[in-house]
């Protein structure tokens, strides 16, 4: 494993903050609280997908990891967080920019 020393900005939505959201909040609504993030979903559940931009980069220019494992779509490199996580099972969400 490579030890990274580079400085980066990390923002986190904690479990406490997630609990204060609607019980049906989807991952897009959770990360939309963070600075530099613009996220939207096409429905309240997030099951039909959505769009996420971080500091102007579209989802197909971002990397998503869950517990250190990269999970971007192998076909178009886009993010589909609604396929991997649901609100009750998330302890926190961190965005490194």
Cβ atoms of 15 and 89 within 8 Å: the answer is no
DSSP secondary structure letter of residue 72: -
Grade residue 90 by pLDDT with cuts at 50, 70 and 90. Answer: confident
Residue pointed to by tokens 């997630």: 18
How do residues 22-59 score in pLDDT, each as one tens digit?
787 877 788 888 888 888 877 766 566 677 888 888 87
Round to whole Å and give the CA distance between 93 and 25: 13
The pTM of the full predicted model, rounded to 2 decimals, is 0.67
Terminal Cα-to-Cα distance of the chain (whole angstroms)? 21
């Amino acid at each position: 494993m490579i030890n990274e020393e580079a400085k980066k900005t990390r923002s986190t939505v904690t479990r406490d903050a997630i609990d204060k959201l609607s019980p049906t909040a989807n991952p897009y609504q959770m990360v939309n609280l963070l600075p530099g993030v613009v996220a939207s979903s096409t429905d309240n559940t997030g099951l039909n997908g959505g769009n996420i931009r971080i500091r102007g980069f579209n989802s197909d220019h971002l990397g998503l990891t869950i517990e250190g494992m990269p999970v971007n779509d192998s076909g178009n490199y886009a993010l589909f967080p609604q396929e991997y996580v649901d609100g009750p099972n998330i302890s926190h969400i961190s965005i490194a920019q």
